[in-house]
Amino acid sequence: IHPSLLPKYKGLNTHLRALKSKEKYTGCTVHYVTGKLDSGNIILQKRVKIQKKDNVISLEKKILNQEHSLYPKAIRLIFK
Active site residues: 2
Distance CA 40, CA 17 (A): 21
Distance CA 71, CA 44 (A): 8
Residues 6+ apart with CB under 8 A from 49: 24, 25
